[in-house]
Amino acid sequence: MARVSSPASFDELKQLISSRYGELSSRLRQIAEFALEHPNDMALGTVAAVAARAGVQPSAIIRFANSLGYDGFSDLQRVFRSRLVAGSPSYRERIDTMRHKAEADRKTNGTDSVLAQFTGDGIAALQHLRETTRPADMTRAVSILARASEVYLLGQGRAFPVAYYLYYAIARLDLRAHLLDGIGGLLHEEARAAAHDDVLIAVSFKEYSRDVAAIVERAAARGVKVIALTDSPLSPIARQASVSFEVDQSPALPFRSLVAPMCLAQSLVVALGHQLASRGGSS
Amino acid sequence: MARVSSPASFDELKQLISSRYGELSSRLRQIAEFALEHPNDMALGTVAAVAARAGVQPSAIIRFANSLGYDGFSDLQRVFRSRLVAGSPSYRERIDTMRHKAEADRKTNGTDSVLAQFTGDGIAALQHLRETTRPADMTRAVSILARASEVYLLGQGRAFPVAYYLYYAIARLDLRAHLLDGIGGLLHEEARAAAHDDVLIAVSFKEYSRDVAAIVERAAARGVKVIALTDSPLSPIARQASVSFEVDQSPALPFRSLVAPMCLAQSLVVALGHQLASRGGSS
DNA sequence: TATATGATAGAATATTCATTCCAAACTATC
DNA sequence: GATAGTTTGGAATGAATATTCTATCATATA
């Protein structure tokens, strides 16, 4: 087994290259320097392209990879690619810490690791929410709500808790709030009450409810302002909306969580409360 | 020259995909969704790999690229790669967000800082939840639920979204779930259906609903197993419960959040799902 | 100076990959 | 219910790519 080492993380690779640097031939040193200085080229380029940029022969690149214990350039390149998708260091470190904690728990107890998993995912989702939400959208949504005559809340299935929470919280601000809950099968009829100086807050996640999409479309066509709370810019309600929040469920989690949407909903309502308090405290 | 458009930046591409989404065929829509949800896969994968992950044929990927005005997949992939090398995505987004925040804060009374506040609070709440929840309680709650004949869900006001979520999620596990929603004012009557081999999951926060407390008391007296989701061991429902989770809203926050209870609820349901799958996969 | 050892360049090769093409399936229209 | 027009799946193709191999070159040692 020629390969005693061959790190899978970029940080380890960096250390390995540094420690082996002394033993390398001059051409291989040249490549080592290039690799550490241009990790992006290493990650995305072909052997020919990297060789050209580094001023060496393609075969030298392969020898470099082999000398570090990798099967070939492609094998080495994986490490450089992992660096690109890992995200910013601090973010990744936090996730890693959580994951390690989760693994430690798995040894002790199975059910508890589920909680560790979801709190970890939840924290990641909240960080992602904060990083990707555009402040301008928040501001616009709040000012639309502050001017609204009536606020209608719509959400079905998994999205319903979010809609209900918004209804509950907005009603407590003494705004006129109406929850479209579809009791008795009159969802579409309830929605017809919304007029052009009203606002409809629609919440919908995959797989998007047909009813919600249809109601949003008709409301938008009538001139009702729509604020969408969804999970993708391709969502059927995002395209119709005046303001659309895409709470991206951070990359491919097996279970969808309501943590981020709930947090966004609360932030919206509290920001709205501040706005109302600071401007006209009247009526 | 067929190509009138074909953005070179990822943000423009996102917009282009969103706007063209409606005109695309179903298979192409499928790819569009995948592309926006898994930009890293698009950036680093081969056509075959991307096609496999998206569940389509390689040729469909090429067609997708062509329909957006690109020469082929490689041409399209450049855009996704540019996103990766423009600095790690979340880092760049964070910088942008920060810059925008500074401007937005100046115009408004810090609408955006509200979001920063609540994501921060949410993270703290989740960490607190993780640290204070006793694994033994999770295990007991799951095993009680796994043996239940029927599961009743109860929560009013601010707690209702949590109860509804539990109802929704448990029903999807093919368990017999019943939401006590009090429509038509028959809350107490609905609750009388719970028998001694049933479980009642009650959710209640300060100020505790009188109805919920009363229902829990009567149910517990009849021998119904009660799982409480509340915010203090002194809560009127905690004392009656077989298992009680106290999701303490970490030290004196001005606004109560549902982030932690929601996360706990999801963890419970998923742990229950695992339990059911591992034990009797029958029914 | 002669020889042995290791490194290098560049051509040759085998593999992987993007792309194209065509038949089959599907839709909408008359 | 038949037909024209799209859309789709999957094999075929040709280009691009990583890797291997060998002759040459440099270097150190006797």
Q: Based on the fold, state whether residues A190 and A242 are members of the same structural domain.
A: yes
CATH number at residue A272: 3.40.50.10490
Q: Based on the fold, state whether residues B80 and B208 are members of the same structural domain.
A: no
- A101, A131, A161: which is the final residue of a domain? A131
Give the residue among A34, A233, A37, A43 at the shortest CA–CA distance from B80: A43
Choose the mutation target among B80, B130, B162, B172 for the interface with A, i.e. most A CBs under 10 Å: B130
In which order are the strands placed within the sheet that holds B225-230? B177-180, B151-155, B199-204, B225-230, B243-246
CA B120 to chain centre: 17
B249 or B36, greater pLDDT: B36
The verdict on residue B3 lying in a domain is no
> Which domain covers residue A49, as residue numbers?
10-85
Averaged over A259-272, what is the pLDDT? 96
Q: Based on the fold, state whether residues B62 and B152 are members of the same structural domain.
A: no
Chain B environment of A252 (Cβ under 8 Å): 37-38
Q: Based on the fold, state whether residues A152 and A37 are members of the same structural domain.
A: no
State the angle between helix axes of B58-67 and B47-54 in degrees (0 to 180), rounded to the nearest 10.
100
CATH number at residue A55: 1.10.10.10
Domains in chain A: how many in total?
3
Asked if A97 is an interface residue toward chain B (Cβ–Cβ < 8 A), one would say no
On the question of pLDDT at B216 being above 60, the answer is yes
The verdict on residue B223 lying in a domain is yes
Contact B263 A122 (CB under 8 A): yes
Closest nt by CA–C1' to B59: C19
Q: According to the model, what pLDDT value does residue A111 have? A: 65
The verdict on residue B30 lying in a domain is yes
DSSP chain B: ---S---SSHHHHHHHHHHHGGGS-HHHHHHHHHHHH-HHHHHHS-HHHHHHHHTS-HHHHHHHHHHTT-SSHHHHHHHHHHHHHSS-HHHHHHHHHHHHHHHHHHHSSSHHHHHHHHHHHHHHHHHHHHHHS-HHHHHHHHHHHHH-S-EEEEE-GGGHHHHHHHHHHHHTTT--EEEE--GGG-HHHHHTT--TT-EEEEEE-SSPPHHHHHHHHHHHHTT-EEEEEES-TTSTTTTT-SEEEE---SS--SS--SHHHHHHHHHHHHHHHHHHHHS----
Q: Looking at chain B from residue 26 to 55, which residues have their Cβ under 8 Å from any Cβ of chain A?
A: 29, 32-33, 36-38, 40, 43-44
**pLDDT band, very low/low/confident/very high, at A90 (cuts 50, 70, 90):** very low
Structure confidence by residue, pLDDT tens digits, A137-179: 999 999 999 999 999 999 999 999 999 999 999 999 999 999 9
Q: Based on the fold, state whether residues A103 and A203 are members of the same structural domain.
A: no
Asked if A91 is an interface residue toward chain B (Cβ–Cβ < 8 A), one would say yes
The verdict on residue A186 lying in a domain is yes
Task: Establish whether the CB of A59 is closer than 7 Å to any nucleic acid atom in strand C.
Answer: yes
Structure confidence by residue, pLDDT tens digits, B28-77: 999 999 999 889 999 999 999 999 999 999 999 999 999 999 989 999 99
Q: Based on the fold, state whether residues A175 and A73 are members of the same structural domain.
A: no
